[in-house]
Amino acid sequence: MTDDSRARILKTALTLFAERGYHAVSVREIAEQVSLTKTAVLYHFPSKSDIVAALVEPLLADSGALLESVRRLPDPPARRWAVLEGLLDIWLRHSALLRMQMQDQALSADDATYARLRDIALTAQDLIAGPEAGFAERVRAAQVYAALSDPVVIFADHPAAELREAILDGAQRLLDTPRPPRSEHRGHRPAETPHRRPNRGRPGAMTAAMVESARRMRDSGDYAVDEIAAELGVSRATVYRHLTAAGDNADA
């Protein structure tokens, strides 16, 4: 029940923050929406800023894990596009957080969170610019990075796949460099984010039959990893881990 209450608080808070802005929403309002007392909400989150920290943690951790993984790619163009596609995928999943940030810069209010967001931005821009980039290349990388997030919020009512391709097409035009085939820079997503609470009821292992099913679904080209995970009742990280252990590229 405690985990359920915590999840309901976070879900409700995110909706209210995204709609009205962080500063316009009180802890009491959140409590009323989830039919809890203010004291009960504060039991889970001692302050409103703690709610924001919990909301943004998955985005920060996913972004950090992505960048750490991308650093290991040997080819600079592959690193560039792995960063662009990977961060865009993360931001599309967390579009409500971006909307909340656009409302009143709430994610930057906490010093520690701001520092992590800044580090992610600087690291991503370095990877986009590439090694030995000059001033003009670094400026262009910063422009491309900045151009990823606003469309996610402004055009949130469009199909995600269509929006994703339009944003990446714009990035390619800004960079004026060819976008390599996806197979050349896949495998950049983090295998797992250990800070997250485990999804209750989802097994952390797959049987040989499940792995084979996952492989067939992946090879068909009709299923994204998220869809494979949902179909098999496991987490996305579990799918990645088992296909990788079997010598496959889960994103191929």
AA letter at 86: G
In angstroms, what CA-CA distances link 134 with 126, 130, 138, 140, 172? Answer: 11, 9, 6, 10, 19
pLDDT of residue 192 exceeding 50:
no
Q: For residue range 144-175, list pLDDT tens digits in order.
A: 999 999 999 999 999 999 999 999 999 999 99
Q: Which fold has domain 49-182?
A: Tetracycline Repressor; domain 2 (1.10.357)
What is the structure's pLDDT at 112? 87
pLDDT of residue 176 exceeding 80:
yes
What is the structure's pLDDT at 79? 94
What is the signed CA dihedral for 168, 172, 178, 179, rounded to 10 degrees?
A: -20
% of the chain surpassing 70 pLDDT: 79
Apex 113 CA angle, 46 and 117, nearest 5: 155
Least Cα distance to 103 among 24, 210, 209, 26 occurs for 24
3-class DSSP state of 243: helix
Domain layout of the chain by residue ranges: 49-182, 199-252
What is the CB-side half-sphere exposure of residue 131 using CA atoms within 13 A?
Answer: 8
Apex 148 CA angle, 25 and 138, nearest 5: 120
What is the structure's pLDDT at 169? 95
**This prediction's pTM:** 0.70
Q: What is the mean pLDDT of the chain?
A: 84
The label of the residue with tokens 């292992």 reads: 205
Segment of 96-110, 125-139, 201-215 carrying the highest mean pLDDT: 125-139
In angstroms, what CA-CA distances link 229 with 61, 70, 169, 202? Answer: 20, 23, 28, 10
Q: Which residues contact 51 (CB under 8 A, 6 or more apart)?
A: 9, 10, 13, 27, 30, 45
3-class DSSP state of 237: helix
User: Average pLDDT in the 235-245 region?
Assistant: 77
In angstroms, what CA-CA distances link 210 with 14, 57, 230, 232, 243? Answer: 35, 30, 12, 7, 10
Strands (E), the chain: none
Give the pair of three-digit tokens for residue 66.
């992505």
